[in-house]
Amino acid sequence: MKILYVCHRFPFPPKRGGKIRPFNMIRHFNQQGHQVYVASLARNPAEAAEGEGIKEHCHHYYAAVVKEPVQFARMILRLPLITPSSMGYFYSQDLHNHIQSLLAEHKFDLIFVHCSSVAQYVANVTGVPKLLDFGDMDSQKWLTYRAFKPFPLSLGYYLEGKKMLHAEKRLAHSFDLCSCTTKAELATLESYNTGVPSAWFPNGVDTDYFTPGTAPYEQHSISFIGRMDYYPNQEAMLQFCQQTLPLIREQIPDVKLYIVGAEPTPAIKALANLPGVIVTGSVPDVRPYIVNTAAMVAPLNIARGTQNKILEAMAMAVPVVSSSQAAGGIDAVANQHFLIADTPTEYASSLVKLMRDQTYRQQLADAGRQRMLTHHQWHLSMQQLDIIVRKCINLHQEKQLTQREVQ
């Protein structure tokens, strides 16, 4: 097949959540022998240059380089409109023109869009099977932000969430099938009652890359992994250090907390002034930091879809203590493969036990690793994707046949 693949963040290198899922799809399609034409955005020339490695995994790629001030201006211009500001941020006339050129030059067998914010580029295209992978339902994320932001920011996020919700419903009608990342996201999508067929397939984890460590770990240590310019990660760590870490320190005075992630804000950097807290900033490889600790914590209060950091830790046989919110994207059993906590006392209790009881830690670590091997490997997820793609194409063909019979 000849596939046009449009995504909101340039999918190479696959180092962050918004890039990992689309990259693995593109690579899979390419390995299946399909010609994949990738069209996406790069936020600066450096990102575009770094993304050139995608050429080994597709037939054609194009990165429209945008400038942050221009994209923010596009967002602001949409504030009084019904169009979500998010769509303004991910709009590029250059990318629009390139996609139109590809559509004019090639007869595609499938148009695949990852993320609703870029569905705008092909929403009006007809005559080609189209699949929209929402990934996460972005509208719900913005609506959740409202509870964590002061007025008038809370109002802004509420309005953006409502506008995005309207757009998600409208865009769904422009595609033959819509998909998402988890069962929970699927339930949200189906609650829209669009009448458009829907499905889900999970994120995977590279269990050959994320493997258990062989050296001894620091027994009195925990880790948190994530980009620290991302508000949900910032909020999680600020609350954790304020409310939970002191409870742990009462029982384990020499506990260490490694906060590992690029672009820490001043508020996050200031956490390094607390006893035992290490803020690393960007590191070339997060794996040594995870496997060196007794457990990884994911105390996210704002979380949609799958937290790849959790899958990666479990694949490395490092026990995870997660919030209920963050656990929604894990195809695993709580208290068997990972632990759930939602209050400072619950977090402290679970983490202290993992740091003190090495036998218990090893049991949870082994169970988590095994679950990743059986339920979260990319090739298993891609098998589900293949079924969804075939369904999308069949639905389109049935729709075309019905239209011809009516005529």
Domain limits, the chain: 2-204+379-406, 218-375
pLDDT of residue 304: 77
Strand 60-65, strand 35-42: pairing:
parallel
2-204+379-406, superfamily in CATH? Answer: Glycogen Phosphorylase B; (3.40.50.2000)
Distance CA 197, CA 187 (A): 12
Distance CA 37, CA 362 (A): 45
CA 116 to chain centre: 13
Distance CA 169, CA 164 (A): 9
Cα separations (Å) of 152 from 83, 148, 163, 350? Answer: 20, 12, 17, 37
pLDDT of residue 162: 95
Distance CA 223, CA 233 (A): 13
Question: Of how many residues is the chain composed?
Answer: 407
Relative orientation angle of helices 153-172 and 138-145, to the nearest 10 degrees: 170
Decide: pTM greater than 0.85.
yes
Cα separations (Å) of 43 from 11, 103, 113, 250, 309? Answer: 12, 24, 19, 45, 23
Helix H segments across 78-201?
A: 85-89, 93-105, 138-145, 153-172, 183-191
pLDDT of residue 402: 79
pLDDT of residue 407: 62
Tens digit of each residue's pLDDT, the chain (407 residues): 999 999 999 999 998 878 999 999 999 999 999 999 999 999 999 999 999 999 999 999 999 999 989 998 998 888 888 899 999 999 999 999 999 999 999 999 999 999 999 999 999 999 999 999 999 899 998 888 888 888 888 888 899 999 999 999 999 999 999 999 988 899 999 999 999 999 999 999 999 999 998 899 999 999 999 999 989 999 999 999 999 999 999 999 999 999 999 999 999 999 999 999 999 999 999 999 999 999 999 999 988 777 889 999 999 999 999 999 899 888 899 999 999 999 999 999 999 999 999 999 999 999 999 999 999 999 999 999 999 999 999 999 988 887 777 76
295's CB contacts (< 8 A; 6+ apart) are 222, 223, 318, 319, 320, 321, 350, 351, 354, 355, 361
Angle among Cα 12, 17, 18 to the nearest 5 degrees reads 60
Q: Which of 292, 297, 293 is nearest to 339 (CA)?
A: 297
Q: Does domain 218-375 have CATH number 3.40.140.10?
A: no
Strand residue runs (E) in 16-57: 35-42
Distance CA 212, CA 320 (A): 14
C-alpha torsion sign, points 110, 113, 119, 121:
negative
Q: Which of 331, 312, 304, 334 is nearest to 322 (CA)?
A: 334
